[in-house]
Amino acid sequence: MELPYAEPYKIKVVEPLYRSTREQREQWIAEAGYNLFNLRSDQVFVDLLTDSGTGAMSHHQWSEIMLGDESYAGSLSYYKMKDVINTLFGMPYFVPTHQGRAAENVLFSALIKEGDVVPGNSHFDTTKGHIEFRRANAIDCTIDEASDTTLYHPFKGNIDLQKLEDVFKTYPKEQIPLCIITVTCNTSGGQPVSMQNIREVSELCKKYDIPVFFDAARFAENAYFIRIREEGYAGKDIREIVKEMYSHVDGATMSSKKDAIVNIGGFLACRDKEVFEKIRMYCILYEGYLTYGGLAGRDLAAVAQGLMDGTEFDYLEARIAQVAYLGNKLKEHGIPCQEPFGGHAIFVDAKKFLPNVPKEEYQAQTLAIELYLEGGVRGVEIGTLLADRDPKTRENRYPALELLRLAIPRRVYTNNHMDYVAACLGNIYQKRDQITKGYRIVNEVPIMRHFTVELEKA
Ligand SMILES: *Cc1c(COP(=O)(O)O)cnc(C)c1O
């Protein structure tokens, strides 16, 4: 018999979780304005709000924390990070930043001006926020297959080359400062981009002389999917695949809170000295001196180690298998999910789950609230609230997909927790016909409203 996978680590430290009653949760969620971001963490039993900064560090990483060099300039921890970034990605230049969005802020300050357009595959919310804040436009060129949750496609994060070339033909080069490939593509369901697509997008960008950058938060999970799904990569070392992915791009913004498995951190890496010279000033202005970029030395050291931990095949296999374990449990209950399952999360199709709730009353948010009430499980809406309003018309933008995302923190929960979550959603699925009403907005801000929006029952 072929032996099954098992987590390539054991547990050294545990943290208690708190259970609650439905009555308590009804009161807490009402007090939170029906926004799950407003809950206290001890009001949540299984927290699948995000996989960002919520991972468990290894004892190697904790050792690096102790070894952190807190020198203002020239910290040895910075040089550890520089070595790893150069080895893994072949990028000689980088600046640390305090998070992924800070790397976006630094890069976009140097590159994007009012009226520009930035094509890519379903830009992440902070990425889109930083583009729109500069009065530029993010243009989504994701393949159409991505918006059909039941259709099988191994690389639903791919960019449609025709859509991308249309952008290049419609706008002058001066108005297209860069193209962004998000690996894996969070917004379309944690879906990977194939090496072939990365290569072809890169060639097209070269032809039109447009720089191409990764939004690289989950680059290692993307490399894992290339290894198991793309022809020619079976059995290939993850780090070799990573190196090849990065060989096609000019640089990358990174949220280290994802695939570098740290609680805080980010960076911006690039190949070109000229680009580095443009971004340096903004790093110093917004983040801090070039060798710490808004982080402590110990944080840089933990990132360097985390990048190595996060590119181990056995770790990635167990991680992605746990996500699929939850997905398969939900399928056993008949619950509609984005398939194939993504790398970091399961995305439940809320339009199909709650067809009786009108889209104007936020179907995915309604499902997220139901799940919290049922079992104290916190997921997050990836739908109309997240999509914000159109900057010109101020109308709600209704995205093609209305999803409840269950993001799984790295190395944190066991499969028993996954069974628990599946049972909660299974119970709601049984009574879905009785759920006919959603929520109304009572208070919101113009950009990235989903973090702070307040709602009431419709
Ligand atoms: C998390 C994330 C970001 C932003 O990073 P933060 O560290 O949260 O600021 C950008 N892009 C993608 C794809 C992400 O997942």
Tens digits of residue pLDDT in 32-63: 999 999 999 999 999 999 999 999 999 999 99
Give me the catalytic one of 47, 51, 69, 125.
Answer: 125
- Per-residue pLDDT tens digits for 178-193: 999 999 997 777 899 9
For residue 125, the model assigns a pLDDT of 85
pLDDT at 70 over 80: yes
Instruction: Give the single-character DSSP code of 230.
Output: S
Which of 304, 227, 251, 414 minimizes the C-alpha distance to 67? Answer: 304
Superfamily of structural domain 22-51+313-457: Aspartate Aminotransferase, domain 1 (3.90.1150.10)
Average pLDDT, the chain: 96
Give the mean pLDDT of 91-95: 97
CATH number of 59-309: 3.40.640.10
Note if 258 is an active site residue: yes
Triad 87, 90, 93: Cα angle to 5°:
100
- Confirm if 97 and 251 have CB atoms less than 8 A apart: no
pLDDT digits (tens, 9 = 90+) for 12-25: 999 999 999 999 99
pLDDT over threshold 80, residue 208: yes
377, 368 Cβ separation under 8 angstroms: no
Evaluate: CB of 122 within 6 angstroms of ligand 1: no
CA distance 207 to 204: 5
Q: Is residue 237 among the annotated active site residues?
A: no
- Catalytic one of 110, 217, 252, 304: 217
- Look at residues 97, 247, 119 and name the one whose alpha carbon lies nearest to residue 182: 119
Nearest of 377, 383, 366, 364 to residue 436 by alpha carbon: 366
Residues of the chain with CATH 3.90.1150.10: 22-51+313-457
Residues with Cβ < 8 Å from 212, sequence gap 6 or more? 178, 179, 180, 181, 201, 202, 205, 248, 249, 250
186 lines ligand 1 (CB under 6 A): yes
**pLDDT at residue number 40:** 97
What does DSSP say about strands 266-270 and 93-97: parallel, antiparallel, or unpaired? antiparallel
Nearest CA-CA partner of 371 in 346, 325, 406, 401? 406
Q: Where in the sequence of the chain do the CATH 3.40.640.10 domains occur?
A: 59-309
Tell me the pLDDT tens digit for each residue of 392-422.
Answer: 899 999 988 899 999 999 999 999 999 999 9
- Judge if the beta carbon of residue 266 lies within 6 A of ligand 1: yes
Q: Clarify whether 236 is annotated catalytic.
A: no
Catalytic residue from among 72, 173, 206, 437: 72
- β partners of residue 403: 349, 382
pTM comes to: 0.94
- pLDDT of the residue at 401: 85
pLDDT at 116 over 90: yes
Please give the structure tokens belonging to residue 196. 């072939």
Measured in angstroms, how far is the CA atom of residue 258 from the centroid of ligand 1?
A: 8
Q: According to the 3-state scheme, what is the secondary structure of 298-319?
A: HHHHHHHHHHHHCCCHHHHHHH
AA letter at 168: F
